[in-house]
Amino acid sequence: MSKQILKAYEFRLYPNIDQQIFFAKSFGCTRFIWNRMLNDKMEHYKIHKESLKNTPAQYKKEFEWLKEVDSLALANVQLQLQQAFQHFFKRPNVGFPKFKHKGKKDTYTTNNQKGTVAIIGGSIKLPKIGHIKAKIHRKINGLIKSATVSRTPTGKYYVSILVETIAKPFPKTNSNIGIDLGLTDFIVLSDGTKVANPKFLSKLAIKLGKAQKIMSKRSAVAKKANRKLSDSKNYQKQKLKVAQIHEKINNTRKNFLHKTSFNIVKNHDVIAIEDLNVSGMLKNHKLANAIADSSWSTFTTMLTYKADWYGKQIIKIDRWYPSSKTCSGCGHILGKGELKLSDRSWSCPSCHVENDRDINASVNILNEGLRCLKLKEPLVQGS
Ligand SMILES: [Zn+2]
């Protein structure tokens, strides 16, 4: 069955000077209204022990310059603040809404009202500002709902266009797959395929490590001379370099994860993965490994929503299931200390088969996933 979905398309923007000023004002106003509304809510609660229902419009009299930006951008701040509070009340461990700082995440969101947001030729039309030159590298299908403009720490502008569209399910392939988070590879599949971490990613990780070292040295030099970091040109230059490498890593990583997850969803019907709690994983001291770890959660998120869009099934298996220590051939489970982290393969003491560590694990993950699926099925049919 086709499915109605929300899909985001990102485009690079090339605003002229006036447009850059408008964006800077918009980022500033949305940050201001967020902080102001949050602060007033907190103060009100302290005194009256009840929540304050404030709106951006209330602040426009006192702060006239708020009228210079898109009013929808301010209205969206109110919504985002509400959502932040809802998240906090539902799951207090996500944390109380925080104040926003300049330059950290410059962004604002506006909505499409009867064509106020549109892609026209090589430009994107936005409310109150008009046409902005953009690199339209792909066609979008569907109804535009909203647009989020952002500026990266290196000064690049992007717009993310959220579109309501229809996803058609992929044809069934009659192939099921188990995925293991590899130790040296990014992932290992139960059909024996090993998907390596892209080589340029580890090169960039080394480059990032070096650049960060220089940055902290320059910060130390400035502090010794009693200079503010904002006044140290050397430090600022290096900070920009670090941000540039970060951006490069994020972009390459995102492309790689999109491609990899898309191919898996396209080629398999049932996809079994481990339900790893990444925040609870051992802290990795090697930068490249840390990047790989954070990739895993993004990857499973992508797999999950793509499977949902395209009519495929994801099964997450218990993270305590001993996928590495179990022989996929005979079911023998190794005892404590019998499998070291450095063992790339192991010989089964029971059936004497030589198991490749990661492939064996992914086969177990698939089998366990299919077993869980069978347990679930009667319930689905009975309901
Ligand atoms: Zn065995």
Structure confidence by residue, pLDDT tens digits, 210-241: 999 999 999 999 999 998 888 889 999 999 99
Mean pLDDT over residues 161-173, rounded?
Answer: 96
Q: What is the mean pLDDT of the chain?
A: 90
Tens of pLDDT, residue by residue over 80-132, are 999 999 999 998 888 899 999 887 789 999 999 999 999 999 999 999 999 99
pLDDT for 296 equals 82
Q: Report the C-alpha gap between 364 and 187 in whole angstroms.
A: 14
274: annotated active-site residue: yes
User: Among residues 185, 358, 368, 377, which one is catalytic?
Assistant: 358
pLDDT for 176 equals 97
For the packed helices 199-224 and 233-267, what is the interaxial angle rounded to 10 degrees? 160
Mean pLDDT over residues 28-33, rounded?
Answer: 96
Among residues 232, 205, 206, the alpha carbon closest in space to that of 218 is found at 232
pLDDT for 381 equals 43
pLDDT for 285 equals 53
pLDDT for 383 equals 36
Tell me the CA–centroid distance for residue 337 and ligand 1, in Å: 17
Tell me the CA–centroid distance for residue 278 and ligand 1, in Å: 30
Tell me the CA–centroid distance for residue 361 and ligand 1, in Å: 13
Tens of pLDDT, residue by residue over 325-339, are 999 999 999 998 898
- The type of residue at 327 is C
Span of 65-69, 272-276, 348-352 with lowest mean pLDDT: 272-276
Mean pLDDT over residues 359-382, rounded?
Answer: 82
User: Among residues 70, 106, 180, 368, which one is catalytic?
Assistant: 180
pLDDT for 294 equals 67
pLDDT at 291 over 60: no
pLDDT at 71 over 80: yes
Tell me the CA–centroid distance for residue 155 and ligand 1, in Å: 56
pLDDT at 279 over 60: no
Tell me the CA–centroid distance for residue 235 and ligand 1, in Å: 57
Confidence of residue 382 (pLDDT cuts 50, 70, 90): very low
pLDDT for 374 equals 86
User: Among residues 274, 338, 356, 377, which one is catalytic?
Assistant: 274
Maximum average pLDDT range among 8-17, 249-258, 277-286: 8-17
pLDDT at 379 over 60: no
Q: Report the C-alpha gap between 288 and 208 in whole angstroms.
A: 10
Residue 54 token pair: 């404030």
In this structure, what is the dihedral angle of CA atoms 206, 244, 292, 205, given to the nearest 10 degrees? 0
pLDDT for 315 equals 95
Q: Are 292 and 257 in contact (CB under 8 A)?
A: no
18: annotated active-site residue: no
Q: Write down the residue that tokens 């996803």 correspond to.
A: 167
Q: Report the C-alpha gap between 377 and 307 in whole angstroms.
A: 18
Tell me the CA–centroid distance for residue 179 and ligand 1, in Å: 20
Confidence of residue 1 (pLDDT cuts 50, 70, 90): confident
The secondary structure element, H or E, covering residue 241 is helix 233-267
Tell me the CA–centroid distance for residue 339 and ligand 1, in Å: 14
pLDDT for 375 equals 82
338: annotated active-site residue: no
pLDDT for 318 equals 87
Mean pLDDT over residues 12-39, rounded?
Answer: 97
Percent of the chain with pLDDT over 70: 93
Confidence of residue 169 (pLDDT cuts 50, 70, 90): very high
Percent of the chain with pLDDT over 90: 74
Among residues 132, 130, 126, 131, the alpha carbon closest in space to that of 110 is found at 126
Count the helix, strand and coil residues of the chain and give each as a percent rounded to the nearest 5: 45, 20, 30
pLDDT at 307 over 60: yes
Give the three-class secondary structure for 382: helix
Among residues 243, 153, 248, 152, the alpha carbon closest in space to that of 198 is found at 248
pLDDT at 202 over 90: no
pLDDT at 208 over 80: yes
